[in-house]
Structure formats: structure tokens, C-alpha cells
Structure 1
Amino acid sequence: MSEIRTPVVFIHGLWLHATSWQPWSDLFAAQGYDPIAPGWPGEPPTVAAARSNPDAVAGVGIDDVVAHYAKIVDELPVPPVLIGHSFGGLIVQRLLADHQGAAGVAIDPAQIKGVKPLPFAQLRSAFPVLGNPANRKRAVSLTEKQFRYGFGNALPAAESDVLHERWTIPSPGRPLFEAALANFAKHSPAAVDTAATGRGPLLLISGQQDHTVPDVVTRAAYKLYGDATSVTELKQFPDRGHSLTVDAGWRGVADHVLGWLNSQGLTGQSS
């Protein structure tokens, strides 16, 4: 049987465009993987186009995003490695629990149903959206100041501002409302079957200075997997914030992910 390159699907979260994964894609391709970084449903192909047409993603919810990426995964030749950041990390967990990936990496993942800690920093980071109920049906942008608090708090201000200008786009408010109300909804789209049997290995990653998804939130999600029979691991990066996939230290996170995948028997080649 001929060998094919193992696919990797990168899934971004709110406020970062899909092209923000380009350095990761280049690194994984050099390691023999076959990476793709599709945008969310309706997301324009460039940062500029996304900023000029915010209504393209207005009203998109978690279930819409899961279905979008599930279709992409179904069309791949073999089950991919799934790597997601923020809400992308929640999407990874949903897909992996449905056996739609060979392995999953959820970096600073948005809170899933059952996570109870609600730190002040997280509330403040989400306030630009949750502060106005009408934002449930809108796309919302972050100002430099809001991005600095939610993403770039562990960075020099100048670096945070550069990242804001380079990668940020308007994002739908609906997923934040769905996650915020998850513990009060019987059938929440933020629910993940943490006890799913036979799924691929999962790595949760936390930046311990993260304001948007504080470390305590990721640790609480990890504890929900306590009865899981499949591999579930947690890696914490001290002094890193929510920008850890796009800031100057991204390579250290990516190298850890590559090493972890190798420890799980996953490489760039799949027979």
C-alpha cells in the first residue's frame, strides 16, 4: 500500500483569521504532514475581505462550525490530526469525541459544558460581546485595547498591536453566548462527550497567563475527562497568554505538539 501524508486540520477561534495558522502549516508540512487551515463557514479568504464584510459570519454558531469541519474531515483520505485554538479547541473536542480525527490538540480551548469556573478575567475578555444581547446575531470586532487584554496581555504592547493589525477579523457573537449558557441548556452545542470510548488521544494546552481562557478553565475541562479510557493529557505553558499560537513564542508550542504527536505514534506519514 502506498504511503500518504497524514492530514492536519487547523481550526482557529474567534477574532483570528484562518491564515494566522500559516507558520504552523509550513512547519508541519516540513515535518511530512499535509496541513490545511480552512476558515469558518462564510469566512472570506483574506483578513482584509473579512474586515470589509463582517455580515458574512454573523449568526454562525457552534453546531454550524462543527458541521462545516466535519464535512471537510469526511473528505480527507485518512483521519486527520485536529489542532484548534480557543473556540477551535472546543470544535476539536467535539469532532474527536465523534471519532472524526486520529488525534486532537485543543489549545486554550473555549469552555465546554460542565466547566464551572468563571474567572473575572474571562468575563472581562468576553464583555465586548456578552455585554450586548444583540451581539448574538452580529459579528463583533475587537479594538486594540480589547485585544491587548484578551490576547496580548503577556506580550509587549507593540507586539500585541502588530498581531491585532495583522490577524484580527470580526467574529460571530453567537458561540460566546452558547458557551456562556452551556451549563443551563439541556442540549448545549458546547457539550462534549468526555467519556467517549475509542477516540484518538487528546492534548489540552493552557497558557497560564491567558485572560480569555484562564488556566483554571482548561484544568477544569481536563478534570471532566477523568473517567476517559482514551489518552488525555494537559500541558501548561507558564507566562503565556491567549496569543500563544501567533506571537513570537509560537514555535515552542508547535514543537511541543509535534513531539506529543510523535509520542502517540503519529507522524507525517500514514500507510
Structure 2
Amino acid sequence: MPDLTDHELADISAANESGLTPVVFVHGLWLLSSSWDRWRALFQEAGYATIAPAWPDDPEDVQAARAEPDVFAKKMIKGVTDHYLAAIDRLTVKPAVVGHSFGGLIAQRLAGSGVSRATVAIDPAPFRGVLPLPLSSLKSSSAVLGNPANYGKAVTLTFEQFTYGWANALPEDEARELYDTYHVAAPAVPLFEAASANVNPWTQAKVDTKNPDRGPLLIVAGTADNTVPLAITHAMYKLQAKKNPGLTEIAEIEGRGHSLVIDHGWKDVADVSLAFIQKNG
């Protein structure tokens, strides 16, 4: 597992020195940690310290990421989770955790290990036990899963693939702006791990839903999401609510797609997430 970067260590040190409750942001595939910058500013204004570690070996910015897309290949769910656990282990105050997409799956893995005081999982990728597999989700993931040779590779979405999976609820000009501003290559392995989770008992796409130390959990669902449709988020909510004694809630954000954390309506989603952590964290 790669060491934490100097930038990440500096953010952790600043969070510890502040004495404030920290919030850890976990990004998903096809984004960098800088996609959380506006969220971090909002949470800091509300009185929280924030850190947003990158996935191991992520480039520092979008330009560098596009120059070396192969650096994203072969990153696996467990290794990424362990990287965030290493960051949390250095915090002196137990944090809240917010994650999106595969970051939402990882956020629930972190919560299941008992290290989060409150967790928000936004349009989270499915894990073992979540059974629905809607057609739109299959089509969205086909850019990766449609070719088994992608397994050990990094995959960049075309603009058309990004539009269907992420920006289907947006006008084309905003979709293009988001694609040009945020989109980077992503490892294919996590998608293969999630796709086979229900037939592979050794899968890394697994969450401890029973741990009584999980803490409060909010699942946020964009009602127009093609990548993680409502059938998946509702099944995930029911699984968590049934198996865990802790508070489990779901919030639907009307008319929003998978881009809901970076598009023009990001603050609506951030406000819902912040309110949940303020109340329960």
C-alpha cells in the first residue's frame, strides 16, 4: 500500500491541530479528490475540518492524470479502503465520512469497520448482497465490463459514455463542461469486483452491514441516475436497515443523475449530507 502523500499528511495534521470534528471525503471512479473542493469549503464554513485523500498513486491534477492514464490501472477496492483507513488512523478525532459512487461503497466499508461517527454514501456502487441489476446500470458499465481484457487496465470514457452514465439529466453544454473539467481514466478492476460480488464469496466488494459500531448512515439517491439506479440504492438501504441496529436513512434527490456531486446542483446534495452529519455525527 503506498504511503500517504505529503499533501495528505499536511491536511491530516491541520485537522488534528484544529480540534474540530473531521470529515473524510472519498471520491469514486473517473474523478480525482479535487472534485470535492467545493464540498470541503462548505463543510469547513460549517465548522468541520476536512480531508480528501486520493486513491493510491493518483496524479495531483486532471492534466497530469490525462497525460498518464495508465497509472490508474489495477487499483482494487481493498487497497483503496486500506489507504483511507491509514489516513483515518492518523486522525485524533473520530471522523464522519462522505463518499460518492465507488467512494460510497468504500465509505460503507469504512463505517462497517467502526471508524466513522456518521456516514453519507451518495449513489454508492453495489456490494455483495445487493441484488438488483437494472438495464441502465448494465449499459453504463458496459464500457468497461463489455471487454474482459479491460480487467487490468485503466479505462477512459468517451463523451457519449459519460453523458449516458453521468450526465443524462443535464444539458449537453454542462455535460461537456463537466467532462472537460473533471473526467479522468479509472481502473476497471473495481467494476469487475462489484459485478461478480454475488457469486464470489471472496469478493472485495463486501461491506460489514451488521457491525453495531457502524454509526448512523445516510444513503443519497439521485432519482435519474443511470449508473446507480434507485433499485440499487433502495436495495442497499433495505439491507443496511435490516441488518444494522444503527440509524439508517435514505434521501432521494429528484431528477439528478450520477454527476450530482459535481454538477450545478452539487450544493443541494451537500446541504442534505451536511445536515445529516450535523444532526447525527
Using structure 2 for the length normalisation, give the TM-score: 0.92
Pick one of 187, 190, 203 that aligns with 1:172: 187
1:57-99 Cα deviation digits (max 9, x unpaired): 2101101111111101101111111100000000000010101
CA distance in 2, matches of 1:69, 1:57: 17
CA distance in 2, matches of 1:210, 1:155: 11
Task: Pick the structure with more helix per residue.
Answer: 2
- Aligned partner letter, 2:209: T
CA distance in 2, matches of 1:134, 1:66: 25
* Match of residue 99 from structure 2: 84
* Match of residue 119 from structure 2: 104
Pair 1:147 & 2:162 matched: yes
- Where structure 1 has 5 or more consecutive residues not aligned to the other structure, the ranges are 267-271
1:176-203 Cα deviation digits (max 9, x unpaired): 0000000001121111111111221111
- Aligned partner letter, 1:260: F
Structural mapping, 1:1-271, within 5 Å = 4-225=19-240, 226-264=242-280, 266=281
CA distance in 1, matches of 2:170, 2:235: 25
More relative contact order, 1 or 2 (CA 8 Å, 6+ apart): 1
1:130-157 Cα deviation digits (max 9, x unpaired): 0111111000011111110000000111
CA distance in 2, matches of 1:60, 1:175: 7
1:78-124 Cα deviation digits (max 9, x unpaired): 11111000000000000101011111100000001111111110011
- Where structure 2 has 5 or more consecutive residues not aligned to the other structure, the ranges are 1-16
- Identical columns (%): 48
- Aligned partner letter, 2:68: N
Superposed displacement of residue 3, structure 1: 7.3
The number of aligned residues is 264
Secondary structure of the residue that 1:5 maps to in structure 2?
coil
Using structure 1 for the length normalisation, give the TM-score: 0.95
CA distance in 2, matches of 1:13, 1:135: 18
Q: Which runs of 4+ in 1 moved over 3 A?
A: none
Contact 2:18 2:49 in 1 (8 A): no
